[in-house]
Amino acid sequence: MDNQTRKPLTERDLKSLRVFCAAAQASGFTAAGEKVHLSKASVSRHIREVEERLGAKLCERGPGGFKLTVVGAVAFDVTTKALRALDRIQPDIDAVRGVLTGPLTIGLVEHVLMDPACKLPAALTELRQQAPNVLPEIIVMTHAQLNQALRERRVQIAIRGQYRKDRTFSYQPLFDEYHRLYVASHVTLAEAKKLPLVYRSHPFVDKIMSTGRFRRGPDAGGLEAIATFIATGDFVGLLTEHYADLISARHPLRRLDDEFEFCNRICAITEASRPLPASAELFLEILKRQYRSK
């Protein structure tokens, strides 16, 4: 079927495209089915139908796993933007009428709530009081995942450290957190200087490693993993101060000298070139008030 004889997409095609996006985001049919409440066979059928309608294969699936084709990657990007535009119709119309509705997706880095300076619960309570029809959703991701989610517009606001500024994002400062080196309390400071450093792909860890003061230790995927290695007494590691205080109640830790002390500014981050929905603008204003009053 050529382009001139193809019919416009129907409501059925729209549903199939939503299913396709769910599969792309979940990297598989089974996980996508759980998200959209369909069987794996139904997910497969929807994707096959949209492939037939578009006249192109969108993904590879089989023993090698799920993978988007080149055409599929383009289709996913275009469809995601189109679906998000559709999803904003009602909230934007309601905003004109002075009523805020719809979802507000907020991405967080791990353990941010444990910081005593975190005021997110109070901000969410104020949001519910001012806009009860807005439905906040919270997703915990890594730093890199949050950046990608912002660019793909899967989250409206990301709460994470600033580290270095990226001109594609806008930053609203919230509070500062401190990162320091720790070792198990039974390890002396002299012994600690000979221990390897637990490695995590992180700007501050890389800065410490660049000094040559520590050998590289085992890789860790997050604060929980780093703290576990530190608690053995065989490694030193970099933790946020508030998280180390919590861990020390169960596994006593000792802070090393302050030569390696880093301040990280936690910010509410949005995509600079993207107009924000009214609910996101309101939440940013609430956060500003919350932290102005500290």
3-36: pLDDT as tens digits: 455 566 677 778 888 888 888 888 888 888 887 7
pLDDT at position 165 is 82
pLDDT at position 8 is 66
Q: How far is CA 233 from CA 184, 259, 260, in A?
A: 5, 21, 19
Parallel/antiparallel/unpaired status of strands 169-184 and 261-271: antiparallel
The answer to whether 272 and 171 are in contact (CB under 8 A) is no
pLDDT at position 204 is 92
Q: Which two structure tokens, joined as six digits, stand for 229?
A: 């290695």
pLDDT at position 5 is 55
Q: Dihedral (C-alpha) 136, 138, 143, 149: value to the nearest 10 degrees?
A: -60
pLDDT at position 275 is 80
Low-confidence residues of the chain: pLDDT under 50:
1-3
pLDDT tens digits, one per residue of 138-160:
999 888 889 888 887 889 999 99
Domains of the chain in start order, with CATH, are 11-87 (1.10.10.10), 103-294 (3.40.190.290)
d(CA 231, CA 251) in angstroms, rounded, equals 6
Q: Which two structure tokens, joined as six digits, stand for 200?
A: 């995590």
Q: Dihedral (C-alpha) 66, 69, 72, 77: value to the nearest 10 degrees?
A: 90
Overall pTM > 0.75: no
